[in-house]
Amino acid sequence: MNELTRHHAPAQDLPARPRRHGGARSGPFGVLDIGSSKVVCLIARIEGDGVPRALGFGWQKSRGVKAGSIVDMEAAEQCIRAAVASAEQMADHLLEGAIVTLACGQPESRVRNILWHVGGRAVTEADLRAILAEGVRRTAADGRESVHAFPLSFGVDATGGVEDPRGMVCDNLSARLHVVDAATHALSNLGHTLHRCELEADELVSAPFAAGLATLVEDEMQMGAVAIEMGAGATSLACFVEGQLAHTAQIPVGGWQVTNDLARLLSTPIAHAERVKTMHGSVLEAGEDRVEMLAVPQVGEEDDQIARIPREMVVRIIRPRLEETFELLRDRLDGSGLPAELRRRVVLTGGASQLIGVRELAARILGREVTVRLGRPRLVRGLPETAAGPGFAGAVGLLAWAAGEGRPLLDLAPAPPLRDGWMGRLMRWVKERM
């Protein structure tokens, strides 16, 4: 009998906080993509050539998660435990922590301009860590929690465009930081849920950022491209320039809203509406759609009470919702402050991107000069073909992050917070009761 087991009684209800590490992982590690439609857990290792190999995998239909946020801890715990247990059994390895996608807490991008007084000496790594800590402190002061803090550029006195200022002598060091933050309480709920599963969040990685790492090619990341992840509960975007994450945003509209529209307007059960979307979903009308009739069971009726509706009715229900989605994304991109030439290539991924005609619709709404393609995650050694679809882009992107991809040139962990935040109060509370 396999002795690799995980306790099923909930652990003490304390939130787990992310630990930050740099570079590629050594030894087996886990990644966990908690989405609104499914939870995916992969256990992998980085091989000698720097490429990940999956050792075990598991996924479960998601419960207790809405728009990426935990709404029912007990239900979410059950499906996370089931996905993790499947991966652990296959890999014969027990996880204590995992790299986790961030989709909760309305994640947003902010640019922080920091001026740091050096005083005529050489810049040290401690100065850079202090600058990152200041950016994190400002984020906490706004009631948000920093998830990523990437240095975009440095300035040494009047000289800008410095990539690595360490060792340079100056009076003042300026920095532009790209900070991705999220609502503190949503992160706390995620941490509580993971702790109930006896897991710790080793790192958090923005969900669209992970999807971009899995689907963009190197030239797209360098020249500028936008990865749009069309998930079940939310649609999010990540803009890449010169190999770095330059902007991210999220709107609370996803494939679930399409399913709900179909269920409501066709008066059919949610499960059948999802089936209609998957089997017949499209945003492009064809001549035969008027004569092709679909059998649709009605809510509350007997099994033999089935309505028949033309397929064009399905198209006319789905298209307005996706038009709204791309219009909202267009507004977010226009408000990002990024030059238009860096946003002319768009890569769609996620489950909802598989609807017929989505690529053409996106190109029409996002702009005539925009080129749109459908992105599938790269193949991963050890994973079956069923895990190669757009819906698995987030999990595959976490493997890429673990292998060192997408990390900034200066991958520095910020210094401890300068103020007594909620984490400090929590730790004191724990110590007083142990």
The pair of three-digit structure tokens given for residue 41, joined into one six-digit string: 């857990």
Name the nearest CA neighbour of 71 among 101, 40, 34: 34
The distance of Cα 248 from the centroid of its chain, to the nearest Å, equals 10
Q: Are 131 and 166 in contact (CB under 8 A)?
A: no
SS3 assignment, position 104: coil
Can you give the residue range of the structural domain that contains 137? Answer: 108-181
- Please report whether residue 153 resides in a domain: yes
Amino acid type, 229: E
- Please report whether residue 4 resides in a domain: no
Q: How many Å apart are CA 155 and CA 161, to the nearest integer? A: 6
- Please report whether residue 149 resides in a domain: yes
Q: CB atoms < 10 A from the CB of 409, how many?
A: 10
Please report, for the domain that includes residue 140, its CATH number: 3.30.1490.110
Helix/strand number for the chain, H first, E second:
11, 18
The pair of three-digit structure tokens given for residue 22, joined into one six-digit string: 């740099």
- Please report whether residue 82 resides in a domain: no
Q: Is 305 exposed, middle or buried (0-12, 13-18, 19+ CB in 10 A)?
A: exposed
Q: Could you tell me whether strands 235-241 and 225-230 are parallel, antiparallel, or unpaired per DSSP bridges?
A: antiparallel
Number of domains the chain contains: 1
Contacts of 108 (CB under 8 A, 6+ apart): 144, 180, 181, 182, 248, 249, 250
Q: How many Å apart are CA 50 and CA 383, to the nearest integer? A: 17
Q: Could you tell me whether strands 306-310 and 371-374 are parallel, antiparallel, or unpaired per DSSP bridges?
A: unpaired
Per-residue pLDDT at 17: 30
Block residue for tokens 């609104």:
36
Name the nearest CA neighbour of 396 among 226, 215, 243, 263: 215
The pair of three-digit structure tokens given for residue 269, joined into one six-digit string: 């059960």
SS3 assignment, position 15: coil
Per-residue pLDDT at 242: 86
- Please report whether residue 132 resides in a domain: yes
**What's the pTM?**
0.84
> Tens digit of pLDDT per residue, the chain (434 long)?
344 444 433 333 333 333 334 456 778 999 999 999 999 999 999 998 889 999 999 999 999 998 888 999 999 999 999 999 999 999 999 999 999 999 888 898 999 999 999 999 999 999 998 998 898 888 888 888 888 888 888 999 989 989 889 999 999 999 999 999 999 889 999 999 999 999 999 999 999 999 999 999 999 999 999 999 999 989 999 999 988 899 999 999 999 999 999 999 999 999 999 999 999 989 988 778 788 899 899 888 766 678 899 999 999 999 999 999 999 999 999 998 888 888 899 999 998 899 999 999 999 999 878 999 999 998 899 998 877 788 899 999 999 999 989 887 666 544 333 334 444 444 443 344 33
Q: What residues pair up with 46 in beta bridges, in sequence order?
A: 52
Helix axes of 311-334 and 358-366: crossing angle, nearest 10 degrees: 40
- Please report whether residue 84 resides in a domain: no
Q: What residues pair up with 150 in beta bridges, in sequence order?
A: 178
- Please report whether residue 158 resides in a domain: yes
- Please report whether residue 429 resides in a domain: no
